[in-house]
Amino acid sequence: MNESERKTYRATARAHANVAVAKYWGKRDTNLNLPLFDSVAFNIEGLVTETTATWNDDDIHDALIINAWQVPPHAMGRIQRILDDIRTRKGWTKRCVLQSHNNFPLATGLASSASGCAAAAMAAAAAAELQLDQNTLSSIARLGSGSAARSIPAGWTRWHAGSLSDGSDAFATSIAPPNHWPLHVFVIQVSDAPKNVSSTECMLRCQKSPYWEAFLQQAKKAADIAQNAILQRDFPALTAAIHQNTMCLHALTMTCTPPVCYFAPKTIEILQRILRLCQAVPVCCTLDAGANVVILCEDTACPFIKNDIIALGLPFIQSRIGSGASVT
Ligand code: PMV
């Protein structure tokens, strides 16, 4: 047995979930998860996935263990692509065991796939002793879940759609660090049930909605509008951008065939409340492909908003704009 075979290739990385203010919705390449347009998001410090990757010569399959539960090999899904990519870069036949812990529920619209794939990409690359720059790591994370590209860089991020067919220019970069605009983030868990239609499936259906072209026109402008609001710390502009983008996305999902409605009754209650409040206090909200609501607010509104959220009687996390993925 040579030295490389005896050696333990292991590393641990952590990544945060991210939530978009200008959302990714539609792929120019389904295989490589290449988006049709740019998106802009922020990481959430309190929603974390920590993953340990170990490469070995003994197993015949890669393995994924999430919160102590082993995922069957056929259900590893797109995380397999991340490991295949790293294996190809190394010229290895080794297999990888990924042991992952989330501090929040999976597949409920809380972007667990984003933090999960970003942590997996960073841990597996570090364990394989690959020296990769942040853009390359973001592209590798993207192979697992598109939005995971945005969980690699820190703070406020932009995922560039790129134009190359191999996807090498479709990675996310940081547009501002977490302390650039230290807003408060509340994540309200309206439901802990997995969503009934995956983002990928719903994106495909949406392209046949009668409103697809109108959505596309708006969505292509959304990243620039959101980025400007963030760079200028312009809360009213951010509020207008995030609400329009969120509503356009959900209007679209409701008009595909068969229709998809990610809202739960409590989602609508919270939405209506925030849409009323945002006219008087600096608060806004969004939701991804799921029922849970993410609220952003400025310092002045925080105590009042928190009391309001407590009164809902639902589990919630209070957090801040988060850091990027890192090896621990
Ligand atoms: O990365 P995916 O395939 O889970 O898609 C994410 C889609 C949204 O969360 C709804 C939007 C976004 O930009 O994160």
pLDDT, tens digit (0-9, with 9 covering 90-100), for 277-319: 999 999 999 999 999 999 999 999 999 999 999 999 999 999 9
Q: Are 262 and 109 in contact (CB under 8 A)?
A: yes
User: Could you tell me if the CB of 38 is within 6 A of ligand 1?
Assistant: no
Query: Which of 195, 82, 206, 218 is closest to 139 using CA atoms?
Result: 82
User: Could you tell me if the CB of 200 is within 6 A of ligand 1?
Assistant: yes
Predicted confidence at residue 307, as pLDDT, reads 96
Q: Residue 183 to residues 95, 224, 298, 325: CA-CA distances in angstroms?
A: 41, 20, 5, 20
CA–centroid distance, residue 294 to ligand 1 (Å): 14
Specify the amino acid at residue 323: S
**Residue owning the nearest CA to atom 8 of ligand 1:** 288
Q: Residue 227 to residues 44, 70, 130, 231, 245: CA-CA distances in angstroms?
A: 17, 39, 32, 6, 13
Rounded mean pLDDT, 87-107 = 89
Predicted confidence at residue 1, as pLDDT, reads 55
Predicted confidence at residue 323, as pLDDT, reads 98
Half-sphere exposure at residue 243, Cβ-oriented, CA atoms within 13 angstroms? 18
- pTM value is 0.95
Domains assigned to the chain: 9-180 (3.30.230.10), 184-319 (3.30.70.890)
Cα gap 137→140, rounded to integer Å: 5
Q: What is the pLDDT of residues 159-194, one digit of tens each?
A: 999 999 999 999 999 999 999 999 999 999 998 877
User: Could you tell me if the CB of 288 is within 6 A of ligand 1?
Assistant: yes
Predicted confidence at residue 111, as pLDDT, reads 56
